[in-house]
Amino acid sequence: MHRREFLGAALMQAGALAAAHSATRHRFANLFPPATAETLKPMAVGLLIKPAEGPEATISRVKNMGFTNCFFSLDGYIGKYTPALAQELGGLLQKYGVTATTAEVVGPGRLVWDFEDGPSTIGLVPRETRAARIDALKQTSDFAKLLGIPQIQTHCGFIPENPRDPLYDETVLAIQEVAKHCATNGQRFLMETGQETPTTMARAIKDVNQPNLGVGLDTANLILYGKANPVDAVDIIGPHVHAIHAKDGKWPTDPMKLGQEVLIGKGLVDFQQVFTKLHKLGYTGAVTIERETEGPQQIEDVKQEKIYLERIISNLQNG
């Protein structure tokens, strides 16, 4: 089948499935008004949290550590979205005066974060898990709408660099389907950087051709996957960036494993240059800390990283 015919037929099928899902989604979406929260300052530093690990504990930690905003990682809730959960999370956000800027899921299904099994397990590229992940993203979009969260994000996976690879067209259609669904909820859909080169991501954005599609820039992932220097990547995908994961890392030295994530300021990300370029492009969204340590050490690391990032941002905005 010719590529254009394939795209057209697939879009018609996706449209029929979306219509069947629509009635249920809209009934659910009107059960609660969006949560209210304070307006964030430009480039406000926030924290990535997993509320399924304890909603009040995680959201109160955001407030207690001096953050005004957070990024919801919701994989622990896939298949468990209910009006009651929306009411609980929305109430906690209001109670602690915290804004949830973006919601993300990367499952369901097997996920291996390496170069060997990653291409067949991560994102919307793998055929085996694609339908389930599209559905999870749509459900997350509907749920996030209840909370007034304006952005949905995921890893789209190892998008083929060869645009003639059949998986490339299939992935473009999958991204397009999710982006259109998010648009009906008044949301952006963001592709998180990592598994693909910035040029491949820019090509996919062009081919998906949806105005609400953008980029969630993970500053370290570009390095951890050996794909690009984030400073240079901004020259390619900067105008599409609507969220940032502030994270640091080093290049991979084992060709089968990702590079090492490290404390911000100890790796290879030049945050001064990245933020300067994004500031010139008019970026005003959140800067979300994602530190992949655990327990008390994570808290101590995040405290240091918050000071480090806020100093750069303050100097940039006041300079």
Q: Domain 3-318 has what CATH class? A: alpha beta
Report the distance separating Cα 314 and Cα 319, nearest Å: 8
Domain spans of the chain?
3-318
Three-state DSSP state, 170: helix
Question: What does the pLDDT look like over 166-211, one tens digit per residue?
Answer: 999 999 999 999 999 999 999 999 999 999 999 999 999 999 999 9
pTM: 0.89
Closest CA to 90 of 128, 37, 35: 35
The radius of gyration computed from the CA coordinates of the chain, to the nearest angstrom, equals 19
- pLDDT exceeds 90 at position 253: yes
Q: Quick one: pLDDT band at residue 15, thresholds 50, 70, 90?
A: very low
Question: What does the pLDDT look like over 113-137, one tens digit per residue?
Answer: 999 999 999 999 999 999 999 999 9
Q: Quick one: pLDDT band at residue 64, thresholds 50, 70, 90?
A: very high
Q: Contact, 124 vs 267, CB < 8 A? A: no
Question: What does the pLDDT look like over 295-315, one tens digit per residue?
Answer: 999 999 999 999 999 999 999
Q: Contact, 291 vs 309, CB < 8 A? A: no
User: Which residues lie across from 73 on neighbouring strands?
Assistant: 104
Q: How confident is the model at residue 319, as a pLDDT?
A: 79
